[in-house]
Chain A
C-alpha cells in the first residue's frame, strides 16, 4: 500500500489503516521527540499527541513532500512547542552555536575507555548533552537518512544551517572525546 492509498483509506474512516500508519512511523516520531525530551513518559505522551494531530491534519496533506517528512515536521514542531512551553528549549543562532561549541569543548573526561563499543556508547551519551536542534538534525541525517532538503522541510532551517549544525555537532563531539583519541589513537 503506497502513501496515497493509505491516506485515502484513513480519510475514508479506516482506523486499521491509521493504526498501520502509526506502526510504520512511530519509530521516526519517537526518535525525533526523544532527542528533544529526555523523559520517556513525556516523550510517549507527545508522540501520541503527534499522531492525533497527524490524523486531524491528514486531509490537508497534499503530497508535496513524502508522508514521513510531513509527519517528522509535525513531530519536530510539536516537540519544539512543548519545550518552549516548558522553557527548556536551548535556542541557538549560528553565531551563538560557536559559543556553545567552546563551552562544550571545555568539558573533559578522565575515565579511560579502551573499546570501540565503549567509545560509541560514550559518544551517544555526549550527543544527549548537545542542544536539542543539533540532536534532531543529527538524528534526521544519520539515523533516518533524510537529505539536507528534507531536513530543511522538517525543521524550517535553511540547508546551509543544517550543514553547519551537522559539522559543528561533529566537531563538538570530537572535542568531547579528545581524551579518548589520545588513549586510543594518540
Chain B
C-alpha cells in the first residue's frame, strides 16, 4: 500500500514538473512590440487632440469676448457679432474631423498595416 502511494506521488510530481510543451509563435515578441506601438501611438494622437481642443477653446473664448464687447460697448457693430451656435457647431465639426482623421484613421491604418 505504501509503495503504491509512493509511486503515484513520484509520478504525479514528475508529470506536473514536466514542461507541457506549449508554444508561442516565433513572431510573438515582435507582435507584442507592434501592439504596444499601436497603443502608444493612439495615446499620442489623443494627446495631440487635446492640443487642438485647447486651440479651438481659445478661439471660441476670443469670439465670446468679442461678442461681449460688441454687445456692451459697440452696439452699432452688432451685425459683426458671431452667433454662438454657429461658432460652437463649427468647432464641434472641426474637432470631429480632426479626431477621425488624426486618431481613428491613423489607428485603423496601423492595424491594417499589421
Tell me whether B3 and A185 are in contact (CB under 8 A): yes
Identify the A interface with B (CB < 8 A).
15, 18-19, 22-23, 26, 30-31, 34, 40, 43-44, 47-49, 51-52, 55-56, 116, 119-120, 123-124, 127, 138, 141-143, 170, 173-174, 177, 181, 184-185
Which chain A residues lie closer than 8 Å to B14 at the CB level? Answer: 120
Give the complex CA separation of A177 and B17 in angstroms. Answer: 18
Give the complex CA separation of A36 and B55 in angstroms. Answer: 49
One of B4, B19, B24 near A185 (C-beta < 8 A): B4
Tell me whether B24 and A143 are in contact (CB under 8 A): no
Tell me whether A40 and B28 are in contact (CB under 8 A): no
Interface residue tally of chain B, by bracket?
20 to 34
- CB-based nearest B residue for A119: B11
Distance (whole angstroms) from the CB of B11 to the closest CB of chain A: 6
Distance (whole angstroms) from the CB of A25 to the closest CB of chain B: 11
Tell me whether B17 and A142 are in contact (CB under 8 A): yes
With contact pairs A30-B22, A52-B39, A185-B7 given, residues A15 and B33 touching in the complex (Cβ less than 8 Å):
yes
Give 8 pairs: A residue, B residue, CB < 8 Å, sorted on A: A44-B28, A47-B28, A48-B31, A116-B11, A123-B12, A143-B20, A173-B12, A185-B4
Distance (whole angstroms) from the CB of A38 to the closest CB of chain B: 11
Identify the B interface with A (CB < 8 A).
3-4, 7-8, 11-20, 22-25, 28-29, 31-33, 35-36, 39
Tell me whether B4 and A124 are in contact (CB under 8 A): no
Which chain B residues lie closer than 8 Å to A142 at the CB level? Answer: 13, 16-17
Distance (whole angstroms) from the CB of A132 to the closest CB of chain B: 15
One of A30, A49, A181 near B24 (C-beta < 8 A): A30
Which chain A residues lie closer than 8 Å to B23 at the CB level? Answer: 40
* Top 7 A-B pairs, shortest CB-CB distance: A142-B16, A120-B15, A123-B15, A185-B4, A34-B22, A51-B32, A48-B32
Which chain A residues lie closer than 8 Å to B31 at the CB level? Answer: 44, 48
